[in-house]
Amino acid sequence: MSDCKRKAIVVGSGIAGISAAIRLANKGFLVEVYESNSYPGGKLTVLQLGSYRFDAGPSLFTMPEYVNELFRISGRDPKDYFEYHTCKTACHYFFEDGTFLPFSSDKMMLLDQVGKTLNVDTRPLEKRFEKSAFIYEKTHYTFLESSLHQWKNYFRKEILKTIVAIPGLDIFTTMHKANESSLNHPKLVQIFDRYATYNGSDPYQAPGILNIIPHLEHGIGTYFPKHGMHSITTSLVRLAEELGVQFHYNSKVDEIVEDGRNVKGVKVNETFIPAEVVICNSDVKPAYNFLLKNVKAKKKTLQQEPSSSAMIFYWGIKKKFDQLDLHNIFFSSDYQTEFRHIFKNQTVCDDPTVYIHISSKYVAEDAPDSGENWFVMVNVPSNKGQDWELMRHEIRSKILSKLSRMIGEDIEALIDEEDYLDPIRIEKRTSSFAGALYGASSNDRMAAFFRHPNFSKVEGLYFVGGSVHPGGGIPLCLLSAKIATDLIN
C-alpha cells in the first residue's frame, strides 16, 4: 500500500517542519524528515542543568489553537497529547524608579491596576487594546493566514476588508509614534513598544501595524504548556510518528536536488533520496547559498535586515522569589538608546532591558523545591562578527548589577548552575542566518512582502519556518506550514 504513496521530504525538524510533516501525512504522503541535529525541535528544545530543566528557546506561548488543530486534523483529541494552562498574568513589569506593574490577563483587573499604580485615566489604554483588536480583525487573514505572493488571493473579499481599513492600520507611522500619540503615560508607551521585540524588530522603525501583537497576548490570551514549551515539540513528534512520519537525525541535507524547474529529492551523505515534494524548513538564506544549485532567490529577499538575536543565561537559582512570575521584564531606563545600539551600532547598551522567564512557576518539577530555573535574556544584534566572548562577559555583569539593584539581592551568589546561548550558538545549532531569532526584522514597512513565499520557482519545492512568510515565532511558523501544504494537491 505504502509503495503507491507519493513521497515528501522535509529538510529540518523545527516546529514548522514537524507540522508540515503532519499535514503532508494527513494528505496521504509518505513523509521523511531529515534533521542535522541528534534531536527534533530546532529552537524549540530543552536543556537540563543538574536538577533544573530549561526550555532553551521560546518561552511565550500564544495561539495554542494552531497546535490543537494539528491533532484535530489527525483525528485525535489534543488533550490526549498536549495540555496547557491559561496564564492569569501576562507579565510582571519592573522599572528602575521602583514602579511595579503586574499586567493581568483580566482586562478589568489590568485597567484597575494601571489606573491605581500610574494614577492615569485608563480609557486611552482601553482604546489601544481596541485598536490592536481592530488591526488583528482587519489583517490577520491577509497577512498571516494566506499567501501574500499569489495573485488570486488579492481577489478575495478578506483583502478588500484590509484595503478599506488601511487608513486606520498605522502603516505609515512607527509603532512607537502610534503608541506615544495614543497612550497617556511613558511607562505604558514602553510596555507597548516592547511588543516589537516579539518578532525581533525595533519599535522606533517598525510600522504601527505591528501593534496587532498586543491583541495576541491580551485579546486572545497567553498560555503555558503543562510540561513546558518543549512538550510542544515532543507531543507533535509523537503525533507525526503515529501518522507514519520517519525522522532521520544526525542527517544533514547537503543539497536539495532540482533541475531549476522541478524538484527531484535531496542528497544526504552523498546518497540521493528521491521525492516528489521537498519542504525546506532550513533558513532561506543558507538554503539558497548552500542547498540549491540552479535557482536564485530575489536579491531583496536575501538582503533583508536580520531580526535581533539574543544572549541568554540559564541560571539555576537556589532561592524562590515571590515577586517574580512566569514572565518578568526589568526595563531599561532609555529604551530608544537600547534599540539604537541593537539595530544601528550592532552592540548592546549599558542598561539593557532584562527578561526573566521562570517555567518552574508553572511546572514545579523544573527546579528543586527551594529554587527556580531562571532563563535570563537580553535582546542583542544578529551576528556581524562582533566579539561575542567579550560581549557575553560584559552583558553578564550588566545583567547581574541591574537585577541585584532592582531585586535587592546579590543574584550572582545564588547561581547554582549556569549555561548560555548566544547568536553564534543559535546559528550553529539551527542554521539560522546570523543567529537571528525570527528571520528578517519587520523594521521595513514592506518587510512582509519581501519575505520569501511558501512556494518557489521550482515545482514541488516549498518553504516553511521563521525566515519565510508569514514570519517568525511559533504561531506564524505553524501557519507557514499550513499555507505551504495547502498549496499541495
Ligand X SMILES: Cc1cc2nc3c(=O)[nH]c(=O)nc-3n(C[C@H](O)[C@H](O)[C@H](O)COP(=O)(O)OP(=O)(O)OC[C@H]3O[C@@H](n4cnc5c(N)ncnc54)[C@H](O)[C@@H]3O)c2cc1C
Handedness of CA 4, 5, 11, 13 (dihedral sign): negative
Q: Are strands 327-330 and 89-94 parallel, antiparallel or unpaired?
A: parallel
Among the listed residues 388, 319, 378, the one whose alpha carbon sits nearest the alpha carbon of residue 353? 378
Supply the minimum distance, in Å, between the C-beta of residue 154 and ligand X: 26
Q: Measured from the CB atom, is 172 or 272 closer to ligand X?
A: 272
Q: Is 252 in the site for ligand X (CB under 6 A)?
A: yes
Q: Strand, helix or coil at 193?
A: helix
Strand partners, 380: 309
Residue 431 in the binding site for ligand X (CB under 6 A): yes
Choosing from 8, 9, 11, 188, the residue that interacts with ligand X (CB under 6 A) is 11
Among 430, 441, 442, 454, binds ligand X (CB under 6 A): 430
Task: Please tell me whether residue 472 binds ligand X under the rule CB under 6 A.
Answer: yes
The distance of closest approach from Cβ of residue 164 to ligand X in the complex, given in angstroms and rounded to an integer, is: 30
Reference 397, options 383, 411, 409, 381; nearest CA is: 411
Closer Cβ to ligand X, 214 or 465, answer by number? 465
Distance of closest approach, residue 163 Cβ to ligand X, in angstroms: 28
Does residue 310 bind ligand X (CB under 6 A)?
A: yes
Nearer to ligand X, 399 or 477 (CB): 477
Minimum CB separation of residue 70 from ligand X in Å reads: 13
At residue 67's C-alpha, the angle toward residues 62 and 68, to 5°, is 110
Q: With CB under 6 A, what is the number of residues at the site for ligand X?
A: 37
Q: What CA–CA distance (Å, rounded) separates 257 from 273? A: 9
Q: At its nearest, how many Å lie between ligand X and the CB of residue 62?
A: 7
* Torsion on CA atoms 76, 77, 82, 85, rounded to nearest 10: 160
**What's the CA gap between 302 and 57, in Å, rounded?**
24
Which of 151-159, 234-242, 432-440, 449-457 is the region at the interface with ligand X (rule: CB under 6 A)? 432-440
Q: Does 437 bind ligand X (CB under 6 A)?
A: yes
Sheet holding 461-463, edge to edge: 246-248, 30-34, 7-11, 277-280, 461-463
Indicate the angle between helix axes 65-73 and 15-26, nearest 10 degrees: 30
What residues from 43 to 72 belong to the interface with ligand X (CB under 6 A)?
43-44, 57-60
Provide, rounded to whole angstroms, the least separation between the CB of residue 128 and ligand X: 22
Binding mask 134-163 for ligand X (x = CB under 6 A): ------------------------------
> What single DSSP character describes residue 113?
H
Judged by the rule CB under 6 A, the positions of this chain that interact with ligand X are: 11-17, 34-37, 42-44, 57-60, 252-253, 281-282, 291, 310, 312, 426, 430-432, 437-438, 465-466, 472-474, 477
